[in-house]
Amino acid sequence: MEISKAEIASAAAASSGAGNSTQELMGAEVLVKALQAEGVQYIWGYPGGAVLYIYDAFYKQDTIQHVLVRHEQAAVHAADGYARATGEVGVALVTSGPGLTNAVTGIATAYMDSIPMVIISGQVPTAAIGLDAFQECDTVGITRPIVKHNFLVKDPKDLAMTMKKAFHIARSGRPGPVVVDVPKDVSFKKTPYAGYPDKVEMRSYNPVRKGHGGQIRKALQLLLAAKRPYIYTGGGVLLGNATNELRTLVDMLGYPVTNTLMGLGAYPASDRKFLGMLGMHGTIEANNAMQNCDVLLAVGARFDDRVIGNPKHFAQNERKIIHVDIDPSSISKRVKVDIPIVGDVKDVLTELISMIRESTAKPDAGALADWWKTIEAWRSRDCLKYDRGNTDVIKPQYVVETLWNMTKDADAYITSDVGQHQMWAAQYYRFDEPRRWINSGGLGTMGVGIPYAMGIKLAKPDSEVFTITGEGSVQMCIQELSTCLQYNTPIKICSLNNRYLGMVRQWQEIEYSGRYSHSYMDALPNFVKLAEAYGHVGMLIERPQDVEPALREARKLKDRTVFMDFRTDPTENVFPMVKAGMGITEMLMGSEDL
Ligand SMILES: Cc1cc2nc3c(=O)[nH]c(=O)nc-3n(C[C@H](O)[C@H](O)[C@H](O)COP(=O)(O)OP(=O)(O)OC[C@H]3O[C@@H](n4cnc5c(N)ncnc54)[C@H](O)[C@@H]3O)c2cc1C
Ligand SMILES: Cc1ncc(C[n+]2csc(CCOP(=O)(O)OP(=O)(O)O)c2C)c(N)n1
Ligand SMILES: [Mg+2]
């Protein structure tokens, strides 16, 4: 059921209390009013004793659609997927004790990738806290290291302001998940309610948006004087909705650009200035440019260990680094930078662009042409080539490439799970638009693929939503196929079934002399029948020539969830690869390098 914007606006106006005198409401009702006032359309959750008053309050309203998942982990992932695709705050609701502990993986996943979320958890009544009460757990303690902030609400009169703060903290500055723990009596008791606050002020929390003008000017001078410049961008560009600014900047300068795994889509992959993803499974040209540039502009990217490889090797080449990030704690965390700029990427890039427009100095065209020549030589090695013509066995890359070819001009979202299939999706699906590639990078959580897709499909019912997964990952949240049916969120699952925990097998092959300890997946279910048992369509695809027809058929089944079980080459590995402890240019290019 889609809820119109007008309905939400009228609900929000009603719930803001504008013009209303103070009324007495139960805590649970205040909570629902807060969500309405925040414009929340969907909430993913699972009920239990501690949240039954909240569920009762949901029953009495019809502006927010609650989605009953099958496992709390999936509730948080679905809300997280929704947040990644829409830029809105994702909201989940879980009960106390096991409800919350089940949600922990989802919360940590969102935290690692800086995703704005509010997670409401039920708690035992305030008088029972600390008494080993039934389904009690220390939610604030358990979640403290994996949230941007958390609250335990002890009095219903604080609920409205706490929710206001929670949403503000989740979406401002460096986004992140916020947990609001609500004891049962707090949701039950009545409290005077004078409307949802329209302002929030926190003395200790004031994220900087505008970058320091002097620093930006210094950055400009460095950038224009560069002989071998490089622009390294990450998830922050997507989180800060600054893709247009990034495109303008790159076009003005003509410099090469790369994205991290989390930044894919921040710059169009089809543009020649894009060198592909960098890092452990990045392209030669992207990694070599990172190592050999003389001026690096890092934008909303956090120098992850999967990106810079061995820090000593990375530091061998001298380069000047400009780092734009909204979170001062990201700056010089792993790599020492020369020009830190703390601020929002959109604000900072806008200022940088206007300074470039006003500047009489221009990039050094001769040096840039030489730099591009070097880069093209790296690129000509075509490091993502694979056995495209294989007619015996389905190459996993071929499935992704075929999907990309078929959907590149469509309104499509791609989610993935974690493993080899995730890397092939990142390498072979060439994202041109932001927020189309939805995956877990920081925590690397197997199981996110289906719930992410489910969350997105609800928000984008007219878009096509695909999940690229593996037979290992998909089983971690497979129960959500049931939710997909109940809420009519038809998604297309492309399982690259190699019968292995492939990424683990790859590491065992390369780092553990081929001792495949517990990475072979035997006794797999019949996925076709499993899909059918859940009320969906299942397809088994075993031959390369059937890949395209299967995808075509699945796309035609617009209103059905389709599970495509592609039997892919079990021996295929992800290349290029930077082995643990190696520098980013010390890449394995294929099995011949092993
Ligand atoms: C199997 C596997 C393999 C992987 N291999 C690779 C690989 O080869 N290459 C790769 O890149 N990654 C890889 N990763 C992902 C990696 O672990 C990290 O998640 C990723 O590199 C981090 O991306 P990022 O630097 O863009 O940071 P993000 O986690 O996206 O962080 C964003 C940064 O932007 C900042 N920010 C947020 N909002 C704003 C704003 N409005 N303005 C300014 N700054 C903002 C934040 O403070 C933060 O510092 C892999 C993951 C897995 C699971
Ligand atoms: C919850 C969780 N447990 C373990 C891991 C470690 N891990 C990373 S990739 C991987 C294998 C994934 O197998 P599959 O889903 O079949 O994908 P493939 O690598 O074969 O494409 C494992 C076990 C993880 N990332 N997440
Ligand atoms: Mg597998």
The string of DSSP codes covering 292-354 is H-SEEEEES----HHHHBSHHHHHHS--EEEEEES-GGGTTSSS--SEEEES-HHHHHHHHHH
DSSP 46-110: ---GGGHHHHHHHHT--SSEEEE-SSHHHHHHHHHHHHHHHSSPEEEEE-TTHHHHHHHHHHHHH
Which residues are within 5 Å of ligand 3 (an ion), measured at CB?
A: 470, 472, 498, 500, 502
Spell 295-322 as b/e; 16+ CB within 10 A means b: bbbbbbbbbbebbbbbeebbeeeebbbb
550 alpha carbon – ligand 1 mean position (Å):
33
pLDDT at 305 over 70: yes
Q: Which residue's CA lies nearest to atom 9 of ligand 2?
A: 419
Q: Decide if pLDDT at 12 tops 80.
A: no
CA-CA distance, 564 to 547, in Å (whole number)? 10
Annotation marks residue 134 as catalytic:
yes
Distance separating the N- and C-terminal Cα atoms of the chain: 53
Distance CA 520, CA 264 (A): 31
Alpha helices by DSSP H, 442-501: 449-459, 480-486
Give the pLDDT of residue 19: 46
Over its C-alpha atoms, the chain yields an Rg (Å, rounded) of: 25
Ligand 1 pocket, residue 448 CB under 6 Å: no
Give residue 309's pLDDT band: very low, low, confident or very high (50, 70, 90): very high
Question: pLDDT tens digits for 338-397?
Answer: 999 999 999 999 999 999 999 999 999 999 999 999 999 999 999 999 999 999 999 999
User: Catalytic pick from 112, 280, 503, 539?
Assistant: 503
Question: Out of 280-284, 350-354, 517-521, which region has the weakest mean confidence (pLDDT)?
Answer: 517-521
Q: What is the pLDDT of residue 429?
A: 98
Pocket flag, ligand 1, residue 113 (CB < 6 Å)? yes
The ligand 2 atom at the shortest distance from the C-alpha of residue 476 is 1
**Cα 357 from chain centroid (whole Å):** 33
Answer whether 302 contacts ligand 1 (Cβ < 6 A): yes
- Give the count of beta carbons closer than 10 Å to the beta carbon of residue 94: 32
Beta bridge partners of 231: 257, 297
Q: Is the CB of 300 under 6 A from ligand 1?
A: yes
Write out pLDDT tens, residues 128-187.
999 999 999 999 999 999 999 999 999 999 999 999 999 999 999 999 999 999 999 999
* Ligand 3 center–CA 566 separation, angstroms: 11
Quick check: CB of 344 below 6 Å from ligand 1? yes
Does ligand 1 have an atom closer than 6 angstroms to the CB of 340? no
Q: Which residues share a beta bridge with 232?
A: 258, 298
Burial of 199 (0-12, 13-18, 19+ CB in 10 A): exposed
Q: How far is the CA of 565 from the centre of ligand 1 (A)?
A: 30
Whether pLDDT at 5 is above 60: no
pLDDT at 1: 37
- Percentage of residues in the chain having pLDDT higher than 70: 97
Check pocket membership of 123 for ligand 2, CB cut-off 6 A.
no
Which entry of 61, 65, 135, 215 is annotated as an active-site residue?
A: 135
% of residues, the chain, pLDDT over 90:
95
Which pairing describes strands 437-438 and 190-193: parallel, antiparallel, or unpaired?
Answer: unpaired
* Closest among 146, 134, 139 to 110, alpha carbons compared: 146
The reply to whether 184 belongs to the active site is yes
Whether 334 is in the pocket of ligand 1, judged by its Cβ within 6 Å, is no
Place 14 in a pLDDT band, splitting at 50, 70 and 90. very low
Which numbered ligand comes closest to the C-alpha of 175? 1
To test the pocket of ligand 2, the residue of 446, 468, 471 to mutate (highest count of ligand atoms within 8 Å of its CB) is: 446
Residue 126, φ and ψ in degrees, nearest 5: -50, -40
Please tell me the pTM assigned to this model.
0.96
Spacing, Cα 376 to ligand 1 middle (Å): 26
Q: Is the dihedral of CA 247, 252, 253, 254 positive or negative?
A: positive
State pLDDT tens for residues 483-506.
999 999 999 999 999 999 999 999
Report which secondary-structure segment, H or E, holds 531.
Answer: helix 527-533
Query: Residue 533: is its pLDDT beyond 90?
Result: yes
470 touches 419 (CB < 8 A):
yes
Q: Is the CB of 472 under 6 A from ligand 2?
A: yes
The single residue of 148, 184, 189, 395 carrying the catalytic annotation is 184
pLDDT higher than threshold 90 for residue 74: yes
Q: How far is the CA of 235 from the centre of ligand 1 (A)?
A: 5
Query: Which residues, listed in sequence order, are joined to residue 45 by a DSSP beta bridge?
Result: 68, 93
d(CA 273, CA 255): 7
Distance between Cα 472 and ligand 2 center (Å): 6
What pLDDT, on a 0 to 100 scale, did the predictor assign at position 593?
81
Return the residue whose CA atom lies nearest to atom 13 of ligand 2: 501
| C-alpha 583 to ligand 3 mean position (Å) | 27
Confidence of residue 191 (pLDDT cuts 50, 70, 90): very high
Reported as a pLDDT band with limits 50, 70 and 90, residue 522 is confident
Rounded CA separation 534/415 (Å): 21
Q: Extract the tokens encoding 343.
A: 């601020």
